[in-house]
């Protein structure tokens, strides 16, 4: 695989980073994951806007313009001959040459890493026909979940808890209501209404969430942005998650209880179809 590191395209075995990089020592960095379908980038503008916001919240300079980011993404997709897959981008605060809690001075240059993952048939994932099963676990993450940092240990623990329970993912619960999934936003459907938690620092501002809610309104569905409990989700007609890599994925079981018929519902199927159609059209 060819990867990108600080301006160079290199074989992955030749890409080397300092042990003093703050991404390594302090999880001091942010990331984005952009899907590639038919060789094109999905919702690239959305990723650029969020990347800029994450960097600014952490008082880091954005090392590239959106046009430069696009050129790097395209070059990597081409070099790795990706038709369907992902581009992972990470910017860390870089290597100050020693370990210190305080941020280094601004002349320390950020470390920029990008790599691709090949996922043939990404949009035809057969799991979308079956749906996810999830369990709930307490949300004990930090309070700035709106910043897409590389500090992903608790989400990893959530995935492991799901794996051990024989299900697909975990939903985080705080103060009796769902915040989001380990790496996705969470929704329920009641009649014609889509219900999902409102944006705040309690959740990541999913760019798939923004697009799906826009398409839902355009398709004459109702959208209500409020929190819901596990009990309310178990009693809903349908449930689903969204993320840039899973797109729109039905959730058919929560803590052992079937949602609706226990099969993916028609509203979720429709949203997935609209999302994929529209985003393919807008891909760059």
Measured from the CB atom, is 207 or 267 closer to ligand PLP?
Answer: 207
Rounded distance, CA 63 to CA 110, Å?
Answer: 7
> Closest distance between ligand PLP and the C-beta of residue 107, in Å?
31
Using left for φ > 0, alpha for ψ between -120 and 50, and beta otherwise, residue 54 falls in: alpha
The DSSP bridge pattern shows strands 132-138 and 29-37 to be: unpaired
Q: Is position 79 annotated as part of the catalytic site?
A: no
| Helix residue ranges, H only, 183-265 | 207-218, 230-234
Q: Which residues contact 76 (CB under 8 A, 6 or more apart)?
A: 2, 3, 4, 9, 82, 87, 114, 115, 116
Measured from the CB atom, is 22 or 148 closer to ligand PLP?
Answer: 148
Residue 146 and residue 201 in contact, taking contact as beta carbons nearer than 8 Å: yes
Measured from the CB atom, is 110 or 206 closer to ligand PLP?
Answer: 206
Q: Which of 264, 268, 271 is nearest to 216 (CA)?
A: 271
> Closest distance between ligand PLP and the C-beta of residue 268, in Å?
15
Measured from the CB atom, is 2 or 242 closer to ligand PLP?
Answer: 242
> Closest distance between ligand PLP and the C-beta of residue 127, in Å?
17
Of 16, 133, 148, 281, catalytic: 148
> Closest distance between ligand PLP and the C-beta of residue 95, in Å?
26
Q: Which residues bind ligand PLP (CB under 6 A)?
A: 180, 183-185, 204, 206-209, 242-244
Positions annotated as catalytic residues are 148
């Amino acid at each position: 695989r060819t990867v990108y590191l600080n301006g160079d395209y290199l074989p992955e075995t030749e890409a080397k980073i300092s042990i003093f990089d703050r991404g390594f020592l302090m999880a001091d960095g942010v990331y984005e994951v952009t899907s590639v379908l038919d060789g094109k980038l999905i919702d690239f503008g959305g990723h650029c806007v969020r990347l800029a916001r994450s960097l600014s919240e952490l008082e880091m300079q954005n090392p590239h313009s959106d046009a430069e980011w696009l050129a790097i993404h395209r070059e990597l997709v081409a070099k790795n001959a990706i038709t369907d897959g992902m581009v992972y981008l990470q910017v860390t605060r870089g290597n100050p040459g020693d370990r210190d809690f305080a941020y280094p001075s601004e002349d320390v240059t950020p470390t920029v890493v990008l790599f691709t993952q090949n996922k043939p048939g990404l949009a035809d994932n057969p799991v979308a026909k079956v749906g996810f099963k999830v369990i709930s676990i307490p949300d004990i993450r930090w309070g700035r979940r709106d910043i897409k940092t590389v500090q992903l240990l608790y989400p990893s623990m959530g995935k492991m808890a799901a794996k051990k329970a024989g299900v697909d993912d975990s939903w985080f619960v705080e103060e009796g209501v769902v915040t989001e999934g380990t790496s996705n936003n969470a929704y329920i459907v009641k009649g014609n209404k889509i219900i999902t938690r409102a944006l705040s620092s309690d959740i990541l501002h999913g760019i798939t969430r923004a697009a799906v809610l826009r398409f839902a309104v355009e398709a004459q569905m109702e959208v209500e942005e409020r929190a819901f409990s596990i009990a309310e989700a178990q009693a809903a007609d349908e449930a689903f998650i969204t993320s840039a890599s899973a797109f729109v994925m039905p959730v058919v079981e929560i803590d052992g209880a079937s949602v609706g018929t226990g099969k993916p519902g028609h509203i979720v199927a429709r949203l997935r179809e609209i999302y994929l159609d529209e985003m393919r059209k807008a891909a760059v």
